[in-house]
Chain A
Amino acid sequence: MSSALAAAGESRRPLAEFIPSAFLALLGIILLVDAGTLSNNRTGVDPLGPRPAPILVGAISLVLAIALAVAVYRGDRAEAESGEDVDLSSSMDLKTVLLLIGVFLANIVLIDLLGWVISGGLLFYGSALALGSRHLIRDLCIAAALSLSTFYGFAIGLGVNLPAGILQGIL
């Protein structure tokens, strides 16, 4: 397991490995800046106030960001996570990921408008297609069946909060 991953790791663009450090540093800065906007009312009941916690977490994040960057610079690479369906020997298929993100965003925009049945069904359909399924009609049927059954089962049956959208009154 490790040897295949180590080989794959060598070929990764080294600059990308610094992303976690950058993220941590950004996080630390955000925490410290936001803590600065707080007024630290210290009372007898609350001797610390709301500021110490974010300041502490922010400061540690910055320290970790530097420590991680140094470690990465020195060649420390962590293993990317493997799994049954994960094939790490090939390069990342970003197109699929972006498609999925796009489909997910579409659902976010449409869900209240069109309701769960349509929007969720489209989410499933779009995702299945993005992931490589070629059965256009069959997938549509499965998507519709899923969204209808979950709507009836959960929203109407269990009272779970799912919108009916434009199908309000029809369902």
Chain B
Amino acid sequence: MDSLQLLLDGFATAATPINLVLALIGVTVGTAVGVLPGIGPAMTVALLLPITYGLEPTGAMIMLAGILYGGMYGGSTNSILLNTPGESSSVVTAIEGNLMAKSGRAAQALATAAIGSFVAGTIGTLLVVFTAPVMTKFAISMGAPEYFAVILLAFICVTAVLGASRIRGFAALMIGLAIGLIGIDSTSGQSRLSFGIPQLGDGIDVVVVAVGIFALGEALWVAAHLRRKAAEVIPVGQPFMGKRDFQRSWKPWLRGTALGFPFGAVPAGGAEIPTFLSYILEKRLTKHPEEFGRGAIEGVAGPEAANNASAAGTFVPMLSLGLPTNATAAVMLAALTSYGIQPGPLLLQRETALVWGLLASLFIANTLLVVLNLPLAPLWAKLLRIPRPYLYAGILFFAAMGAYAVNGSPFDLILLLGLGLIGFGMRRFGIPVLPLIVGVIMGPLIELQGRRALQLASGSPRGLLGGVEVATGQFSLSLLACTVYVIIAIVLVWPLIYPLIKRQLPTPHIDAPTRQPTKTGGDNT
């Protein structure tokens, strides 16, 4: 089959000594940074982006993929051993994982998380290998009106589906779009929002936006609220699993993967929903219900697999459509664009070596993770004790380094500071960050496609609904575009119908363990 041949070629690319070393470095550094408290996978990738600057694109993407997977594994180590979990997708792992750790079974928890990540990551990547080319063939048939509609759908999903507040989600999107508008408009040559400052003429680099909003914003926010007493770290030896633990884990691994992958592949699906669903599912199916709430291994195995499968799933829209479905994918796309590579449906065709090398290297990174990090877990656990002043000073240090290195100009540092303050404000006022990043990356794209669609229809608005045959001048309605608009309408109307359905479903909190685990609260005894 065509894909398999390409994948084998990809392995040839990924297995070159230098790319192997890059994957290794990526995985190791990613885990180390991911373990650190307060740093989620998105921030990990954003902060470590400058390391990849000197590399050529394939190597850089391989390293970033390693950083991503390493960052996720580090995050789960963190949530199991630390009293208070940080990243929202690790919250569920922490419920049972931390309880296992407290009852002396940290090693098993870490082992099931690691192996589950490996299983989910491998299966997930295989699914990517087979679905991405299919999606790409489909995507190539998309013209400007279809592309416009799909990006609009992504916008709506990312803002309207997010839990907290749709107004705030839309607000974040607007801020992101505004940032994306800064610079010279390529079609007309006019300069927008640059206020006469020449450095703004080229627009703001997405990396600066990502590092500013994620890293600097987070550091400033934590600085304002730094917990005076450090959270309690549970000591652990080498991770290992007994046979019974394994028998109890393997089905949750598979179920978690099945849940996580689709959610990762869909805009705004994310990792929170599948991890929660996996937890509920495992709790229903377990043969040891009395253990839930005291450290049940299924409660770690399933959600961890879901988390990783979701991460693999994000590669599908990212590689085939150029659409980021979570913050980390957004940062990786930003890295691609900074190399001058245009993400989108043609990526698979234009950059065959890069994409398949990347996919092959995902398998390698996955394997490296399990092989390396199982023995090294006690070492990573020590990182959890890092004094907080060093941690956040380090974040500021690397953020400044990364931002300066983009253009070699202190002006980017000023931008970074401004964006950091915006990030700070967003965290203070509960405004979600993902719509902003999506707006920055996809804003210019949707404008381009919209203008192109209208141009193809000679300025008529129905250009957004379909295409005009060049030869005959005949207008034909695009089925895809119309379908997408209908979906958008449904998504917008959904919150009005949802409360009616909600009464039928049980809420996660009712099924939560009987003994309240400490999550973020002051119960730090």
Contact = CB atoms under 8 A, between A and B. Distances in A.
Contacts of A92: 224-225
A171 interface: no
A34 B193 contact: yes
Contacts of B455: 44-47
Interface residues of A, number: 88
A104 B404 CA distance: 12
B105 interface: no
A106 to B, nearest CB: 11
A87 B400 contact: no
| Residue among A39, A77, A85, A100 with most chain B CB within 10 A | A85
A118 interface: no
A166 interface: no
B104 to A, nearest CB: 22
Contact of B171 (A64, A116, A158): A64
Binding site of A, secondary structure by majority: helix, strand, loop or mixed?
A: helix
A6 interface: no
A20 B429 contact: yes
A4 interface: yes
A83 B222 contact: yes
Would you list the 9 A-B pairs with minimal beta carbon distance, nearest first? A78-B430, A158-B54, A47-B459, A127-B393, A131-B389, A133-B389, A161-B408, A128-B393, A87-B227
A34 B196 CA distance: 11
B392 interface: yes
Contacts of B38: 83-86
A60 B475 CA distance: 31
B174 A160 contact: no
A88 B392 contact: no
Given A79-B164, A96-B224, 19 more contacts: A4-B521, A24-B171, A27-B175, A45-B455, A47-B458, A53-B181, A61-B171, A64-B167, A83-B38, A84-B78, A84-B520, A86-B520, A100-B220, A104-B400, A111-B400, A120-B401, A127-B396, A161-B404, A162-B404
Contacts, number: 252
B255 interface: no
A128 B413 CA distance: 19
A20 to B, nearest CB: 5
Contact of B86 (A47, A84, A103, A107): A84
B410 interface: yes
Nearest to A46: B187
A140 interface: no
Interface in B131-177: 164-165, 167-168, 170-171, 174-175, 177
B204 to A, nearest CB: 15
B164 A68 contact: no
Interface in B180-199: 181, 185, 187-188, 190, 192-193, 195
A124 B393 contact: yes
Interface residues of B, number: 82
30 contacts: A1-B519, A23-B425, A46-B188, A47-B459, A48-B451, A50-B192, A54-B178, A54-B192, A64-B170, A67-B167, A77-B430, A78-B164, A78-B165, A86-B520, A87-B227, A90-B225, A92-B225, A104-B417, A108-B413, A108-B417, A123-B400, A129-B389, A139-B390, A146-B397, A150-B397, A154-B54, A154-B401, A158-B53, A159-B53, A163-B404
Nearest to A30: B193
B451 A46 contact: yes
A99 to B, nearest CB: 8
B174 A84 contact: no
Interface string A34-72: 110011010011111110011001101100110110010
A118 to B, nearest CB: 13
B298 to A, nearest CB: 23
Interface in B42-97: 50-51, 53-55, 78, 82, 84-86
A1 B520 contact: yes
A89 interface: yes
A48 to B, nearest CB: 5
Given A104-B400, A154-B401, A158-B51, A93 B414 contact: no
A160 B53 contact: yes
A57 B389 CA distance: 40
A142 interface: yes
A46 B175 CA distance: 25
Contacts of A31: 178, 181, 193
